[in-house]
Amino acid sequence: MSSPETTACPAPSSNEKLPPGAANPFVFMVGSPRSGTTMLKRMVAAHPLMAVTRETHWIPGIFERRRGLTDRGRVTTKVVEKLRSHKRFEQIKTPPETVVRWIADEPQLSYAELVSRLFDRYGERKGKPLVGDKTPTYVRNIPTLHQLWPRAKFVHLIRDGRDVCLSMLKWRKADKAAGQFATWADDPVVTTALWWKALVGLGVEEGRRLPDGLHAELKYEHLVANPAGACRQLTEFLGLDYDPAMENYHEGRTQFEAGLSANAAWLPPTPGRRDWRRDMAAADVARFEAATGDLLDLLGYERACHDLPADARRAADDIRARFAAEARERNWRLPELW
């Protein structure tokens, strides 16, 4: 399929200039859940030119399954039924009736053009010309999204998987992520390790295949240790002027009520909230590294275990085989580094 056309973003109301050829969706922020992507979204959305949608979850799936689309990728009114039935679509704040009218008025409207228009309208409501998407699991759909929007950029936020594991084990929605796999009942640590590897490993491989200037990997640890420096690097990658509002996104919004999560409390970037060196049992570290040590090495994360116990290797091998079989049943693509 040829590259779809996209419309240019509306001009900004401020004196800041848009990057040349900017169009929406402008950027996709991806990564494994529990990696700090909500914090990243809030930083980006604090920029005067950037709005970021709530997690969508429907964009690549409709295109990949050709739901309501012609063979040439044109939208039909059936796509509205799919959008209306998705619980996340209403968050984009465009009534389905409006989409029906667009399709009736423009029979040649492509799926890429439709989504771009939805993002443009979202930005108009926010008073911002550029609109990004933060749906972490789109890390599995980078080729599809690049096919639809060849100029869109991707920011892959990466966090040490051992800290992701600590967060996952305490998350009430774990059953929506690593906990959805049957092996979770037997070994949630190794299951989380493989789930993290499946997402992050694939995102690294697919992201690094994109043309120069479209893909950036950002370490969570750098983001929380040096928010200003990380935000400067991020805006340089996006072609935007740096704005200190990004690292100050939490000012005036932080809450101190007991029981609130870091996200719900709008806490500022805080290094060391989870630290596997302090909080993870040695046996859990060994099994995690037995499952994902090669990816930790690739990403520059130091291993704790240089001589893995035989029982840790056996546990990782057993869970890996079962996890991979279930992943393939779920139509998951696994990374080459597996």
Digit-coded pLDDT (tens) for 70-93:
988 899 999 999 999 999 999 999
- The answer to whether position 118 is within a domain reads no
- The answer to whether position 334 is within a domain reads no
What is the mean predicted confidence (pLDDT) over 41-66?
Answer: 96
Instruction: Report the chain's mean pLDDT, rounded to a whole number.
Output: 93
Local structure of residue 180 (DSSP, 8 states): G
Domain containing 44 equals 27-49+129-329
The CA distances from residue 181 to 188, 228, 320, in Å, are 9, 38, 11
The answer for residues whose C-beta is within 8 angstroms of residue 233's C-beta and 6 or more apart is 216, 218
What is the mean predicted confidence (pLDDT) over 200-211?
Answer: 99
What does the pLDDT read at residue 9? 63
Q: Summarize the chain as % helix, strand, coil (round to 5).
A: 50, 10, 45
- The answer to whether position 269 is within a domain reads yes
Residue 107: exposed, middle, or buried by beta-carbon count in 10 A (0-12, 13-18, 19+)?
exposed
Cβ pair 49, 175 in contact under 8 A: no
What does the pLDDT read at residue 300? 98
What does the pLDDT read at residue 167? 96
What does the pLDDT read at residue 268? 77
Q: How far apart are CA 228 and CA 244, in angstroms?
A: 7
The CA distances from residue 56 to 6, 91, 136, in Å, are 20, 8, 10
Q: How far apart are CA 177 and CA 137, in angstroms?
A: 10
pTM for the full predicted model: 0.91
What band does 8 get if pLDDT is binned at 50, 70 and 90?
A: low
Residue 189: give its domain's CATH number: 3.40.50.300
What is the mean predicted confidence (pLDDT) over 175-195?
Answer: 98
The number of distinct structural domains making up the chain is 1
- The answer to whether position 35 is within a domain reads yes
Cβ pair 2, 123 in contact under 8 A: no
What does the pLDDT read at residue 4? 47
Give φ, ψ of 313 to 5 degrees: -65, -40
Name all contacts of 278-284 with Cβ < 8 Å and 24+ positions apart.
Answer: 279/166, 280/162, 280/165, 280/166, 283/312, 284/165, 284/189
- The answer to whether position 183 is within a domain reads yes
- The answer to whether position 236 is within a domain reads yes
